[in-house]
A and B are shown apart, each in its own frame.
Chain A
Amino acid sequence: MDIPADYRFLQSHEWHQLQGDTVTIGITHIAADELTDVTYVSLPKVGAKVQANQHFGEIESVKATSDLYSGVSGTVTAVNAELTKTPGLVNTDPYKAGWMIKIKVDDPAQFRQLLSAADYEKKTGH
């Protein structure tokens, strides 16, 4: 489907985009569809430390609650405040306006170890 080719992924459906030493994280449209209408996103504060493969937040929909995972370690430099008011952006525009956090990464090599778009599609069967 519309999975951006240059993004990297976790099997738990988070996408990662690398720009310089900063990784932006959100969830894929597959995950957003699976959750159904998102009602709440709990995110860390700017300055918080995030560990690779540890959860950094939670996402809730009318149907389910799910943890959010990061594929990289680093320090949060920005969080998407729009999601507080309009959590539905995760459903309508998961790869752009629905972004969640930006992390200044400790080791950019971690990014390249994540799943490629093709591998993610294969793993999730989409």
Chain B
Amino acid sequence: MLKHTPFYDFHVNAGARLVDYTGWEMPLLYRGIVEEHEQTRNSGSIFDVSHMGRLHFTGKDAAAFLNRVVTRNLADQKVGQSRYSLVCNESGGTMDDVIVSRDEKHWLMVCNASNRQKLVDYFNQTIQTGGLDVTMADQTESTAMVALQGPKVIDKVSAVLPVDIKALKRYHFESTSVMLIKLTVFRSGYTGEDGVEVILPAKVASMAMKMMAGATDRPDASLKPAGLGARDTLRLEAGMPLYGHELGETIDPLSAGLGWAVDLSKDFVGAEALRAIAKNGPKRKLVGLELEGRRIARQDTPILNGKNEAIGVATSGTFGPTVQKSIAMALVDSAYTNEGTMLQADLKGTLIPAKVVKLPFYKRK
């Protein structure tokens, strides 16, 4: 039985094509992946991201506990700040990538839907074993979450929410109330565009969505719904990792190019293994690839070095609707990561030239 988010009826009424995404029945697309991608880059889109996990932490050991299970140093994190971070296993592999936010009386972690149960079990065990004063509440199903992304979002949302969104810095958030509805507004996203992500109570979700986005079904609407298909092409152009592709239990954050989100000077689960990797440098690293032509190097496509030797694999690939190129991310042997290096993608025996390029593929002006 697939789970439904509070926006399920909205998706059905908007004519979405629904798919099973890690146990949730979610919209893959409403009108078309490329159209929704372009709508996001040119104006704005609203994405239901309620399937993502929302874990709430309180208790006097909450900060110390979180600082032990995530790679980023939270010690100097201020109230109203969010930080992208990794949760690692003892070998330095990635259990999940998350955003940790510090509110006045609690901490909040937003995690991937696919990893939510794994993290809940792991955190509960760590809390119990350590006898820590931490209360974890899984608020995923009592709340909803939407991402509003695109160049017109900030103006549009500023007009309806009593939050000075223009003054809200990236990776900061503010809680507010509108007609007794508590909303938390984060200046963040997963598309390469400016925008906000909003957490709200599940019961009022559809009403609040109408208020924020307005009439999303008009052809000239500045914000229209977009599905997981566009979310994937948008994040890929923006060079952002997706768990299960660029990150996984056997892929450490240093290899994935996320060293900036790992503080090796503090003690945390996986630190020792990551220090050893950092000492000699990762054996393989995540790179951006631009392929010649229109064919796509999808996940697990072998990457060759021009001498018929496999030196890596693609982790994600698509034809970028904005950049109009076949793009991919790949984990390759560190000897082949310099920009401009010519590699090949092995598409069932057809070798397509693939150039190592700087990430992201797309950066907003």
| Residues 21 to 57 of chain A near chain B (Cβ within 8 Å) | 33, 36-37, 39-40, 42
Task: Pick from A33, A36, A65, A91: contact of B296, CB below 8 A.
Answer: A65
Cβ of B21 to closest chain A Cβ, rounded Å: 13
Q: Is the CB of A39 within 8 A of B294?
A: yes
Q: Is the CB of B319 within 8 A of A39?
A: yes
Interface membership of A1, Cβ < 8 A: no
| Residues 274 to 294 of chain B near chain A (Cβ within 8 Å) | 293-294
Contacting residues, chain B, for A33 (C-beta < 8 A): 17
| Residues 101 to 132 of chain B near chain A (Cβ within 8 Å) | none
**With A42-B295, A62-B229 as contacts: A36 and B32 at CB distance below 8 Å:** yes
Contact with A along B309-332 (1 / 0, CB 8 A): 000000000110100001000000
C-alpha spacing A91/B34, complex, angstroms: 12
C-alpha spacing A87/B298, complex, angstroms: 19
| Residues 49 to 82 of chain A near chain B (Cβ within 8 Å) | 60-63, 65
Number of interface residues of B (CB under 8 A): 18
C-alpha spacing A87/B324, complex, angstroms: 13
Cβ of A10 to closest chain B Cβ, rounded Å: 21
Q: Is the CB of A40 within 8 A of B29?
A: no
Contacting residues, chain A, for B247 (C-beta < 8 A): none
Contacting residues, chain B, for A91 (C-beta < 8 A): 32
C-alpha spacing A42/B296, complex, angstroms: 12
Cβ of A41 to closest chain B Cβ, rounded Å: 9
Task: Pick from A36, A39, A87: contact of B229, CB below 8 A.
Answer: A36
Interface membership of B39, Cβ < 8 A: no
Closest to A88 in B: B34
Q: Is the CB of A37 within 8 A of B32?
A: yes
Q: Is the CB of A63 within 8 A of B33?
A: yes
Contacting residues, chain B, for A62 (C-beta < 8 A): 33-34, 37, 229, 233, 318-319, 321
Q: Is the CB of B318 within 8 A of A65?
A: no
Q: Describe B's contact surface by its main secondary structure.
A: mixed
Q: Is the CB of B319 within 8 A of A36?
A: no
Closest to A37 in B: B34
C-alpha spacing A42/B293, complex, angstroms: 11
Cβ of A62 to closest chain B Cβ, rounded Å: 5
Q: Is the CB of A40 within 8 A of B33?
A: no
Contacting residues, chain A, for B29 (C-beta < 8 A): 36
C-alpha spacing A61/B294, complex, angstroms: 10
Contacting residues, chain A, for B296 (C-beta < 8 A): 39-40, 60, 65
Q: Is the CB of A37 within 8 A of B298?
A: no
C-alpha spacing A112/B295, complex, angstroms: 34
C-alpha spacing A50/B29, complex, angstroms: 35
C-alpha spacing A60/B295, complex, angstroms: 7
Among A40, A62, A63, A65, the one with the most B-chain Cβ atoms within 10 Å of its Cβ is: A62
Closest to B320 in A: A62
Closest to A84 in B: B294
Contact with B along A84-115 (1 / 0, CB 8 A): 00010001000000000000000000000000
C-alpha spacing A23/B258, complex, angstroms: 53
Contacting residues, chain B, for A42 (C-beta < 8 A): 295
Task: Pick from B37, B233, B294: contact of A87, CB below 8 A.
Answer: B294
Q: Is the CB of A37 within 8 A of B294?
A: no
Contacting residues, chain B, for A39 (C-beta < 8 A): 294, 296, 319, 326
Contacting residues, chain B, for A61 (C-beta < 8 A): 33
| Residues 1 to 51 of chain B near chain A (Cβ within 8 Å) | 17, 28-29, 32-34, 37
C-alpha spacing A39/B319, complex, angstroms: 7
Q: Is the CB of A63 within 8 A of B294?
A: no
Among B34, B229, B321, the one with the most A-chain Cβ atoms within 10 Å of its Cβ is: B34
Contacting residues, chain A, for B28 (C-beta < 8 A): 36, 63
Contacting residues, chain B, for A63 (C-beta < 8 A): 28, 33, 229, 318
Q: Is the CB of B229 within 8 A of A60?
A: no
Q: Is the CB of B295 within 8 A of A37?
A: no
Closest to A63 in B: B229
Closest to B298 in A: A65
Apart from A63-B33, A63-B318: 5 A-B pairs, beta carbons within 8 A: A36-B32, A37-B33, A37-B34, A40-B295, A65-B296
8 contacts between A and B (CB under 8 A): A36-B29, A39-B296, A39-B326, A40-B293, A60-B319, A62-B318, A63-B33, A63-B318
- Would you list the 10 A-B pairs with minimal beta carbon distance, nearest first? A39-B319, A40-B294, A37-B34, A36-B33, A62-B33, A62-B318, A60-B296, A37-B33, A62-B233, A40-B295
